[in-house]
Amino acid sequence: MMENIIFRNFLGGKGLKLTKERTAVLSEVYSFHGHFEPEYLYSRIKGSGSKASRASVYRTLSLLVECGLVKRVTRTDKGNIYEHTYGHSHHDHMICDICGEIIEFFSEKLEKLQDEICEKNSFIGSSHALEIRGRCKKCRM
Amino acid sequence: MMENIIFRNFLGGKGLKLTKERTAVLSEVYSFHGHFEPEYLYSRIKGSGSKASRASVYRTLSLLVECGLVKRVTRTDKGNIYEHTYGHSHHDHMICDICGEIIEFFSEKLEKLQDEICEKNSFIGSSHALEIRGRCKKCRM
DNA sequence: ATCTAATTGCAATTAAGTCTCAATTTCAGT
DNA sequence: ACTGAAATTGAGACTTAATTGCAATTAGAT
């Protein structure tokens, strides 16, 4: 698993340690696809063989975001939503206001547009997130 | 003030009442420009002649969002950030990771792109928010 | 002016996420 | 494999934004 190596290198480079708990969180994150909330992740970990406290789950999640293996997709009224990123190229999201479904898409034009907009505003863009809200195929009237 | 009329009509249409507190919140929201957090709004209201409890501020803010006079710009780790929208056309945001400055921009191309993307995915887009993160002019190295 | 449903303020509550710290564990050096 | 310094853990207390329940109050239609 490439993501383990990435994580180990990241930790090593910062003088941090690869613990059972961190390994458990990482492998749980990569054990399923799609988006997740921290509490959901925590409940999955409790249910799995391994274990990690809530504090460790949150702490590890921050590290995973920092090293780029996990990304915060958006915030709902409830809290953060994440996704793992290794093996997934950059994309943006459409979120259905009715059923909450999250649809991913990628647009080359959008990538170019970001550069254009940044240049025009003397801004050094490092990332963007486009979130389109509306109704998905199933929920349109 | 057009926004008062809009709010009054909105409330009337739902059988809700236009109270002093709601009026106070609305006029405070429109008394300055730029982005704000609910707690900042609440502190301004306490400082002004009128008054409204924290609960009323939050409750009114929801109503203002519902009727389109206020929009939630983004969520930080701390909480929501809003802006008033009457007299402001649609725009998106660049947020500086260093100093937190929020820069507004509008791109016609982006508007068209949204329609294109939605069509391609059988999604009925009602709104979008593009957030570009990076370093502003002042904070670039 | 009256009446009823909506609204208010307060304080209690919720919930996500963070922090503290004693006990434990990792791992580099031997 | 052993050791020790430094990092990490778990449990629960804590923080902070935001919501809620309820008795008292108020808007506004009639």
CATH number of B79's domain: 1.10.10.10
The model's pLDDT over A81-115, given as tens digits with 9 standing for 90+, comes to 999 998 788 899 998 887 778 899 999 999 999 99
Secondary structure (3-state) at A54: helix
Does A12 share its domain with A50? yes
pLDDT(A8) > 90 = yes
pLDDT(B18) > 80 = yes
Helix orientation angle between B2-13 and B20-29, rounded to the nearest 10 degrees: 140
Does B57 share its domain with B17? yes
Does B47 share its domain with B10? yes
pLDDT(B54) > 80 = yes
The model's pLDDT over A18-67, given as tens digits with 9 standing for 90+, comes to 999 999 999 999 999 889 999 999 999 998 888 899 999 999 999 999 99
Close Cβ partners of A41 (under 8 Å, ≥ 6 residues apart) = A25, A28, A29, A57, A61, A82
Does A42 share its domain with A12? yes
Does B61 share its domain with B79? yes
Q: Note whether A131 and B73 are within 8 A (CB).
A: no
The model's pLDDT over A114-136, given as tens digits with 9 standing for 90+, comes to 999 999 999 999 889 999 989 99
Does B65 share its domain with B18? yes
CATH of the domain at A115: 3.30.1490.190
State the Cα–Cα distance between residues B65 and A49, nearest whole angstrom: 45
Please state the domain count of chain A: 2
Q: State the greatest distance between any 2 C-alpha atoms of chain B, in Å, as a whole number.
A: 55
Does B48 share its domain with B98? no
Predicted confidence at residue A3, as pLDDT, reads 92
Nucleotide nearest to A15 (CA to C1'): D7
Does A70 share its domain with A103? no
Helix, strand and coil percent figures for chain A, each rounded to 5: 45, 25, 35
pLDDT(B12) > 90 = yes
Predicted confidence at residue A96, as pLDDT, reads 87
Secondary structure (3-state) at A21: helix
Taking an 8 Å cut-off on Cβ atoms, the answer to whether A117 and B125 are in contact is: no
Does A33 share its domain with A57? yes
Predicted confidence at residue B67, as pLDDT, reads 94
CA–C1' B79–D16 (A): 9
Does A111 share its domain with A59? no
* Beta pairing class for A80-84 and A92-96: unpaired
Does A70 share its domain with A6? yes
Residues in chain A within 8 Å Cβ distance of B97: 126
- Give residue B15's region: left, alpha or beta (phi > 0; psi -120 to 50): left
Predicted confidence at residue A92, as pLDDT, reads 93
Q: Could you list the residue range(s) of the whole structural domain that residue A103 is in?
A: 92-139
